[in-house]
Structure 1
Amino acid sequence: MHSIAFRLVAEEEEGRLMAQRVERRKLRDTINPFELPQSLFEKYYRLNKPGFQYLLDVLTANTEAPKKAFAISPIAKLSACLRFLAEGGYQTGVGKDCDVSNKESCM
């Protein structure tokens, strides 16, 4: 009897974790820093949009395409790196990621 209850709880937990992974992936895939207003963009990245695009072009020209379907996109990598360098940490940036994302659930 206890083993059946344990399996049910374990299956529920596994389902919950899988749903959480899917939701995080959706949030990560919707990140588009170019949708930010210019002033907010420069505040977050300490760089204007053409400069960001130039860096992105240089980095993607000199790197291989990702081999995994769930790889983090180059734009997400660059924006995370520049944001970290601009703020000197990651906690403020994580708290304001809803500004970069176009998800309404963040409001």
Structure 2
Amino acid sequence: MSISHLDVSVRYSSGTYIARNSGKTASCTHSPDVAVKNLGAKIFGAQQRLIITALHPVSYTKPGVYRISPDPSQMCRQCGCTWYDACQPGCHWVEDDLCSACAGRAG
């Protein structure tokens, strides 16, 4: 069963945006979006394209909530699998448009 989305808590503290979900954290001094993107890469993998939506944007005084969702348009160039319809028993992205199952067959 794949994850359709995650809601992430983001707070601002001492010049740093900190994104957190289920014990995982990522931070960035530039923007909350980058902190959320970095957390998404830890959870979904670095090659997974993500859609990030600010449900309640963070401010200097109040935490925010952001939603991370895998991009449904990302598809393997060989077999056509996606995050939501992966190869069996499972695969992950080795390139932006190539899954691990197809990369293993190519060699």
TM-score normalized by the length of structure 2: 0.26
- Which structure dedicates a bigger proportion of its chain to strand? 2
TM-score normalized by the length of structure 1: 0.26
Bigger-Rg structure (1/2) = 1
- Larger relative contact order (CA 8 Å, sep ≥ 6): 1
- Which structure dedicates a bigger proportion of its chain to helix? 1
